[in-house]
Amino acid sequence: MSKTKIAVLVSGGGTNLQALIDAQQGGILKNGEIVLVISNNSGAYALTRAENAGIATCVISKKELGCAEAFEEKLLATLKEQGIELIVLAGFMVILSQRVTDAYPERIINVHPSLIPSFCGEGFYGLRVHEAALGYGVKVTGATVHFVNEIPDGGRIIMQKAVEIREGDTPEVLQRRVMEEAEWKILPLAVEQVAAEIKEKKE
Ligand code: GAR
């Protein structure tokens, strides 16, 4: 049976996308294939990473389309056109409405840079998550890979990994450690796990 067709949605630097590309090239991601990278931001370096790996890219801009509804309409049409079976949000900074999450139940995965249910939900993204963790004074943080439903960061958890906070950590230093020790490791593993489950259901 053919591999699960994956689209990765990005907004920025794309280090998590890079971890997925490396996993695909290194044989860790074997039951799924990244066939498309979609960005809401034409300046995202993640697009260059995809191009360098020979993966098709597409920019869907909310600004150009005028509103969230038009953005989601175009997104859904693109995903359908390409026969996408699994969507991975890898540093994608747009919250998707129930219209999109209902169209792909347990078929959208997100990576979040904390141990959910801490420091998550609306307003918690990127560096802000690490600022909040340091501000609260927790001694352990980490990353979570979860399914996406209509509640921001509220879907079923697939994988988590803890990361220790050290004396003197800045948000930037902590962000890097959480990426290196957790995100880049568990995201490829979780994507492979779900891609394999989807492939198995087709057989
Ligand atoms: C990552 O830390 C990711 O977990 C986070 O943004 C960063 C994107 O980095 N995502 C969120 O905060 C989503 N709520 P990347 O573009 O280098 O992968």
Cα–Cα distance between 110 and 184 in angstroms, integer? 13
Residue having the nearest C-alpha atom to atom 16 of ligand 1: 14
Q: 113 C-alpha vs ligand 1 centroid, how far in Å?
A: 7
Residues of the chain with pLDDT > 90, as a percent, come to: 98
For the whole model, what pTM was predicted? 0.97
Task: Please name the residue that has the structure tokens 């693109």.
Answer: 78
Task: Determine contact, residues 148/101, Cβ cutoff 8 Å.
Answer: yes
Atom nearest to 46 CA in ligand 1: 16
Atom nearest to 10 CA in ligand 1: 16
Residue 87, token pair as written in the block: 């969507």
Give per-residue pLDDT as tens, 60-103: 999 999 999 999 999 999 999 999 999 999 999 999 999 999 99
- Is 142 close to ligand 1, i.e. is its CB under 6 Å away? no
Residue 203 pLDDT exceeds 90: no
Task: Please name the residue that has the structure tokens 């996308």.
Answer: 17
Instruction: Give the residue numbers marked as catalytic.
Output: 112
Residue 108, token pair as written in the block: 């959208």
Give per-residue pLDDT as tens, 139-193: 999 999 999 999 999 999 999 999 999 999 999 999 999 999 999 999 999 999 9
Dihedral over Cα of 171, 177, 178, 179: its sign: positive
Q: Which among 9, 22, 112 is the best mutation to test ligand 1's pocket, defined by most ligand atoms within 8 Å of the CB?
A: 112
Residue 124, token pair as written in the block: 């918690």
Residue having the nearest C-alpha atom to atom 17 of ligand 1: 15
Q: What is the model's pLDDT at position 194?
A: 98
Give per-residue pLDDT as tens, 20-31: 999 999 999 999
Q: Looking only at Cα atoms, what is the longest distance across the chain? A: 52
Q: 202 C-alpha vs ligand 1 centroid, how far in Å?
A: 31
